[in-house]
Structure 1
Amino acid sequence: MIMSRKLLFILVPLLLLIPPTVHAQEETVQVAEWTILVYMVADNNLESAGIEDVNEMEQVGSTEEVNIVVQMDRHKEYDTSNGDWTGTKRFYITQDSDTETITSVEVEDLNETNMGTQKALVSFVSWGVENYPAKRYMLILWDHGGSFWGVCYDEDDGEGDKDYINMSELKGAMEEVYGIVGRRIDILGFDACLMAETSVLYQVRDLSEIVLASGYSEPNDGWPYKEILEKLVQRPTMGGEDLAKIVVDEYVRSYTDRMDDPQDSPAVTMTAFNMRAYPKAAEAISHLAMELSTQVTLRSLQIWTARTRTTGYDLANIGPFDVTNYPLYDVVDFCDKLQQYIPFDNRIHDVIDEVKGAVAEAVIYAKADPYHPGAHGLTIYFPNRENPEGPVATVYDPLYSRLDFGREKFWDDFLKAYYNLKDIRDPPPTVTILSPQWNQSFQQPSNIVLSGEAFDLKEVRNVSVRVDGGKWVEIPGVRGPGTITWRYVISTENLPPGRHLLEVKATDSAGQSSPVVSTWVCVISPPKEREASGGLGTEISLLLIIFVAALITGAALLLKKR
């Protein structure tokens, strides 16, 4: 016993010397293949359609590999089924065979929530990503859509007013979603009318891998969720392009199969856009606008005829008129008609070919009903007047000029020249940033390679860059006619850690500057070297454990012998 007491006096102090090295066991989080986030603004006359769509989702339900979550806002008048609850609830969609009653798990009751805001959309995505992590995410904006005028129309914001998400808010929300996911979201889907418009896509060009959108107004039944989700659940490891193609196929099939529920529609399109390729399509459209703007007095009748005979996406498009005030026209079909009605202008034809080629690169997959062979999926705003004139005139909305596409590209300038029959003899240049990607991270020490293209009908004289609003720096040796490439290297050692604004502009031979374009990058500090004390402490801990274990073993053997 004397020996054992002495042993304790030796061992206890030694054990106390051992630094704590046991860490709390981290909880294992199940990461699904896909999380489908449905932002359902049914606080309007689409309330019944929303309930029907949730029931469609429930016919499939979530699995271990596919999470389906919905935030739904209901109206107080349009539908009294399902307990006639109002306000906003979050659901984790589970499988059942009841096609009328929502039985899924109600995860959260938010009471009346204004879902026509950037804040509400970001909050939903943040909650969904945190609680239902996945390798891939699809965000669906479900509601009325109004092209570049807005989406997600909430008839009761909680204070008796109406609200909706405008294009500035949409861009801001998707920038925040980028931060939540840590990258571009895999798919942004618009289960809403008229959202496949050039300027809408341009707002989110850097923020999603794929965008799904309809050119026409969607029927109230919207997407066929049962058929779409069945295929995803059967093959949950599919990539974004495969899922996008399923949405396109099933959506168009559901309205063209000559079967009830839903009833067929004479005007349906759905397009999946590759957003990494989309900026070049937008730039090519700008090139065409610049070329046309120099010839509007000569070509006005031909342009008018081409527009009149181009596939229009207004539900009551009659020749040059858009009775429901959605003057949206098919980009590729307009190009085809221009080539038809301006037959011998090789310069215009070359630019048209550029547009069609760039749009083809940006379209992953597109389908339309059989009645509109000229519907290729991408639309553009083309009202027939700048000022009111006649009962069915569609008047240019100045809002368009304030969008990213209106500010950075030349389409709106062409429209104004066309309306006023006044040529723009020497349009200013345009410039595009092709890399780095928006919000791309660079660890010190490294170089940021900023590159892109500049364009002028005559000659680009120079391209200049500035960082964080500082002085403009001209890139040496960048000059030439038409489209030129440019490149500028920025060392991260000259930038503090954090986000930095990079801006670019081009100047032509007449001294005209392009609109300034920009992107953001994030500079990260170099990894810290492991502190000597921390590393040494761990090694000492291990040695002490081995030493104490040896002592205990030796002492036990000694006691056994005694």
Structure 2
Amino acid sequence: MTLVLEWNYTSFLNELRFNPDMTPEEFVSFVVGSYQAGTYVSTVLGFNMPEFYPIKKYYTTLSATNLSKSDQLKNDVSTLAEKLTDNLPDVKPNIRKAREDTREYGILYPRFWWLPTTLSFGLAYEPWGYDCFIDVYDFSSRLREEVDVQEVKDACTNVMNSLDEAIIASESLPTDPSYGLHIYFPQLRCQYDQSIWKGMKNPTFRNIPVKYEELDFSEDNVWDEFLKTYLNILQFYP
């Protein structure tokens, strides 16, 4: 299948034109429903690679979120982070397995800033693709199946339920486990707080404007503390 980037603006704008009294939720459902998700398989120098070569595959997705539900979701994510931190010695292997299997975003960009961009883009080698953003629902679902600790299972369920409430509409391929929202979760210590564009030539983008723990989201919950504990980087980011 080739890359599909089709968004039928006429369709949802006509819906609004002929139904101006529709609710915001109804309108964004039409907006998302008018988007055609797709996928694209990279080539190397214009050549298709053999099946054993881990080539980059891109999946497009779109969603709409009810921001009035974000506080409850944020609280549930924070509770999950607390339970994971409290039980980390017992559940760390489960977290690692769930994290490895979870839907990731940003693969177009280099995973490590020191990788030459020409090499990263040119070879389209999937393990070199950026992987620090993951689907929250997919991760929670996989983690719930992996762990035996009941309070962690319950926390995962609460996050999933909050997402069901917050996500108004989501469009993706049937084979793409994208549910509407992602969260920051680097797999490696060296990836934490690094700009996705650090290795690019433009010096403006080499540094992130603020640390992850200084974001409003991080200041209001303990997800960032969980990440630093899980990645064992508290000595670098106290």
After TM superposition, the structure 1 = structure 2 runs for residues 207-286 of structure 1, keeping only pairs within 5 Å, are: 223-252=7-36, 255=38, 267-286=59-78
Can you give the 5+ residue segments of structure 2 that lack an aligned partner in the other structure?
40-56, 110-125, 195-209
d(CA) in 1 for partners of 2:220, 2:6: 33
Higher helix proportion (structure 1 or 2):
2
Match 1:417 to one of 204, 208, 229: 229
- Answer yes or no: is the 8 Å Cα contact 2:62–2:180 preserved in 1: yes
d(CA) in 2 for partners of 1:322, 1:408: 33
User: 3-state SS of the aligned residue for 1:358?
Assistant: helix
Match 1:339 to one of 117, 127, 144: 144
From the superposition, tell whether residues 298 and 345 of structure 1 become closer, same or farther in structure 2 (CA, over 3 Å): closer
Give 1:228 deviation, angstroms: 2.3
- Answer yes or no: is the 8 Å Cα contact 2:58–2:108 preserved in 1: no
Give 1:418 deviation, angstroms: 0.2
Give 1:271 deviation, angstroms: 1.4
User: 3-state SS of the aligned residue for 2:138?
Assistant: helix
From the superposition, tell whether residues 301 and 275 of structure 1 become closer, same or farther in structure 2 (CA, over 3 Å): same
User: 3-state SS of the aligned residue for 1:277?
Assistant: helix
d(CA) in 2 for partners of 1:266, 1:370: 14
d(CA) in 2 for partners of 1:293, 1:347: 12
- Answer yes or no: is the 8 Å Cα contact 1:224–1:251 preserved in 2: yes
| 2:52 match | none
Per-residue displacement from partner, 1:377-418 (whole Å, max 9, x unpaired)?
11111111222xxxxxx3334621111011111111000000
User: 3-state SS of the aligned residue for 2:107?
Assistant: coil
2:104 is the alignment partner of 1:307 = no
User: 3-state SS of the aligned residue for 1:420?
Assistant: coil
d(CA) in 2 for partners of 1:273, 1:396: 26
2:162 is the alignment partner of 1:367 = no
User: 3-state SS of the aligned residue for 2:156?
Assistant: helix
Per-residue displacement from partner, 1:316-358 (whole Å, max 9, x unpaired)?
69xxx8634351111111111111211x211111111111111
d(CA) in 2 for partners of 1:416, 1:368: 31
2:210 is the alignment partner of 1:405 = no
- Answer yes or no: is the 8 Å Cα contact 1:307–1:334 preserved in 2: yes
Instruction: Work out the percentage of aligned pairs sharing the same amino acid.
Output: 28
The list of structure 1 runs, each at least 4 consecutive aligned residues, that deviate by more than 4 angstroms after superposition, is 219-222
Q: How many residues align?
A: 184
From the superposition, tell whether residues 288 and 248 of structure 1 become closer, same or farther in structure 2 (CA, over 3 Å): same
- Answer yes or no: is the 8 Å Cα contact 2:144–2:157 preserved in 1: no
Opposite residue 411 of structure 1, the aligned amino acid is W
- Answer yes or no: is the 8 Å Cα contact 1:266–1:369 preserved in 2: no
d(CA) in 2 for partners of 1:282, 1:339: 18
Cα RMSD of the aligned pairs, angstroms, is 2.6
User: 3-state SS of the aligned residue for 1:276?
Assistant: helix
| 1:379 match | 182
From the superposition, tell whether residues 266 and 233 of structure 1 become closer, same or farther in structure 2 (CA, over 3 Å): farther
d(CA) in 2 for partners of 1:287, 1:407: 14
2:131 is the alignment partner of 1:330 = no
d(CA) in 2 for partners of 1:223, 1:288: 36
Give 1:279 deviation, angstroms: 0.9
- Answer yes or no: is the 8 Å Cα contact 2:66–2:168 preserved in 1: yes
